[in-house]
Each structure stands twice: as C-alpha cells, then as structure tokens.
Amino acid sequence: MEYWEFIESSEFDKFYKCINILPKKIFSDSDYLKVLEDIFKEYQEELDKVDFSIIDVIINKNRVKRICEIIIESIKCQLNGNSIEAINTVEKLFKEKDIGDDLFSCILEKEESNHFTKQLYRGRIGEDIFELSEIFHVPFNKRQYVATERYSIPGYPCLYLSGSIYGSWLELNKPNINNFYVSRYEVKEKLKVLDLSLLPREIINGNLGDGNEYLKRYSNGEGIEISEIIQKYIYTWPIICACSFIIDEKNRLFKSEYVLPQLLLQVIRNVTDESDKIHFDGIKYFSVKCKYGANVKPNPVYINYVFISDNKEKYIDGLKNEYSKKLCGKFKLTPPANADMCMSLNGLGISGLSLQKYHMKMEATDINKEGLRGKAFIEIMKGHVVQYNGMDFYRLEELLCNIPARNLGE
C-alpha cells in the first residue's frame, strides 16, 4: 500500500484525530490525571486498530503500554508526596531495555546548516539591560528569583531559549516591548536534547514531499526513513502529551500538568556523565502559548529549549553574580537589544546596513535557508494569519543576525 493510501484510510484517520489534540486544555487541576489516563487508553485502543506494518513501520504495542504506565505511575508517586520514587520511575523511560533508544532526540551543532536549530533567542523584561550576563540564566546567588515553570527544578537556574523572538515574547506573556530586551544565541559545541517538540501534523501533513524533506533536515540525519520517524514518534507521543497541557487556572499555585516535565528535567540533571547514552544537555519542546490554527504550521517560531546548568564551576561577572561556567562555554550571544528601540530604526540596520541590503546578505549566507522561518504563519486574530517575515519581530532577528555574538566574559 502506498503511503498516501495508508494515511487516508479510515483506521489511520481515527488514530490521527486521537493524537492531534495537542496542546490539551483542562479547567481544573484535579482533572489532569484522569484526563491523561483516558487519553492514553484511547491512544492504545486506536493504535491497536492500525496496521503500521503495511508501510514498514514496526510498533511494539507492549512497549507503548509500558511507556504510558511509567508516566502515570511517576505522576501518582509525585502527587502522593514520594518524589524520590517518582524520579526513579521516570528514569525507567530512559533505562528500561529498548525504551530509551526509541525516544526522540536531536543534536544542535556548532556549524549547523539546519535552519530549525541555528538561531536561538532569549528575552528578558527589565530596564537598562546592557551586560551579556544579564540576559543569561538566573545567577546561582539569586536563585530566589527562579520561578516554577513547566520545565524547571525548584530553586535551580536553567537557561531558557526560543527559536524566535516572537516565541520568546509569547513565553514572557507578551510584555510591553519598551521593556523587552532580547539576545541572539549561537551554539558553540554539539548539544544533545530530548526532543518533545514534534506535533502530529509534522509527521502527517498535507504535502508529503515537503514533509519528507522537512523531517530529514529536522532529524539531523542523512537518508533517514520516514518509517523510523513515525516509529519513534509513536513511542514518544505519550511523553509529549503529558507535558503539553494548557494551564487554564492562571493563579493556581500547584500545577499537576508540570509534574512530568519537571521530573524529566530532574532525571536529566542527575546524569552528569556525557558518555552515558541517556545524557542530555536539555529538552526541546513546543510552546503551549501560541495558537495552532489550521493554517499555522509548526515551525521554529514556536519552539523552546531548556538547558541544564552546572554549578560545579562558576563564572563570576563584574556584578559578582555567579553563572554556570560549563553552560557559558556552550554558547555565544549578542549584547541585549531593546526591542522597541531596534524596531524604531525605520528600516535602518545596524552599522548602516539597510534591511534590503541585509536581506540579500541573509540569503547569501544561508542563515535563513529556504525562507521557511520567514514563511511561518502567525495567527494575529481569530481566522487571520500573516507571514512571520512581515512582522517586526522577524526584522529584529535580521538585525541581530548581523551583530557578532560574543563569549560570556569577553
């Protein structure tokens, strides 16, 4: 059977509708576990009805069941106050035979030509932010300012980056751009991240040709088969699902939806040996704060990253603030730029380069390969979308791409 015939079958259509629900919204914390259990039950039932072997995809249904069981068990342990047992349970996702090897991961390279991972950004709200260190992670000596996030360890600073300035602005809850500062980050060395950023429509989309090439670039592999992508996705989807619930009660102090992503980060933090096959530098995930409408294709604009810090060796800046020396060595970054000030340049780029001239330079240097980032669709109001390259956020990215990134401490 041809691939197109397979994905248009009624059995697969029901399965696709079952998984194409992310991000999922619930209205009460007490609903989370029950809703998740029901989703996993339906997921396994619909999966049983689909014969993936027709397209040479071999799925171990018992492995899927085990992954779902581990997730539910770990969340229950945490909700019952047994944090140690919860962490030990989540470790099984990586250490039990065959499971860890089947989860999605990706590599960020120093000289990455893949447009999905090359440009990373970090935003911060404040006034008169000028130093590189001021837009790095929260200093260790100021851990009292570490907020509880979806992907966080209580009181432990991590570095949060986005695939676009717009994405960073969303994650900061759309602050006034007068106080919005942003920096562009470059990867200095190879980084391995657990990849929870794929949405179902990226696997099964309306243009198979583009989708195939998209997935090959995305996976950082040469000649990777789409069957392997689908197989890994089916095993990883329950984890993605459990980590991708929208918080409706904004003022809720405890969020059950954060339990699994926080446990995952804790497990990753505990593995310090880089030769260990379950060692990761961080986690890649999609934003739950954007609107994934029918015309809005998932892309780097909506992707976020969290990178683990290491406090064994510290870099101390001129303000006596303490940062992870190891993490400092993994990135270069541009000086913080005030978004409002840069957007008011009225088409004039840094160092006298016009945006028109610089756009030619962008194409020549392949920074924005094939323009897929710029062609991303952003829903600015219900039913109305615009291309990202028509927004000031995109033009600000163009400006920052012309600013040399520096090592922290220079």
306 in a domain, yes or no? Answer: yes
Give the C-alpha separation, 116 to 125, whole Å: 25
Identify the pLDDT of residue 347. 53
pTM of the entire predicted model: 0.88
354 secondary structure, DSSP code: B
**What are the helix (H) ranges across 96-197?**
165-171
Nearest alpha carbon to residue 326 among 345, 308, 301, 338: 308
28 in a domain, yes or no? Answer: no
CB 105 within 8 A of CB 94: no
45 in a domain, yes or no? Answer: no
Amino acid at 291: K
Neighbours of 190 (CB within 10 A): 12
404 in a domain, yes or no? Answer: yes
Range of the domain at 375: 103-224+241-409
Identify the pLDDT of residue 308. 93
Nearest alpha carbon to residue 349 among 279, 289, 400: 400
Query: Which parts of 92-153 are beta strand (E)?
Result: 105-108, 120-125
Identify the pLDDT of residue 276. 74
Rounded to whole angstroms, what are the CA distances from 224 to 85, 104, 108, 137, 254? 37, 13, 17, 35, 41
Question: How large is the angle between the packed helices 61-79 and 226-242, nearest 10 degrees?
Answer: 20
User: String of b and e for 306-326 (b: at least 16 CB within 10 Å)?
Assistant: bbbbeeeebbebeeebbbbbb
Query: Which parts of 153-232 are beta strand (E)?
Result: 158-162, 180-187, 191-196
CB 287 within 8 A of CB 246: no
84 in a domain, yes or no? Answer: no
15 in a domain, yes or no? Answer: no
- Work out how many domains the chain is built from and give that number: 1
Nearest alpha carbon to residue 263 among 410, 405, 70, 406: 70
Neighbours of 4 (CB within 10 A): 9
Identify the pLDDT of residue 292. 63
SS3 296: coil
Identify the pLDDT of residue 357. 40
Residues of the chain with pLDDT under 50: 112-117, 206-214, 217-223, 295, 348-371
32 in a domain, yes or no? Answer: no
Identify the pLDDT of residue 224. 56
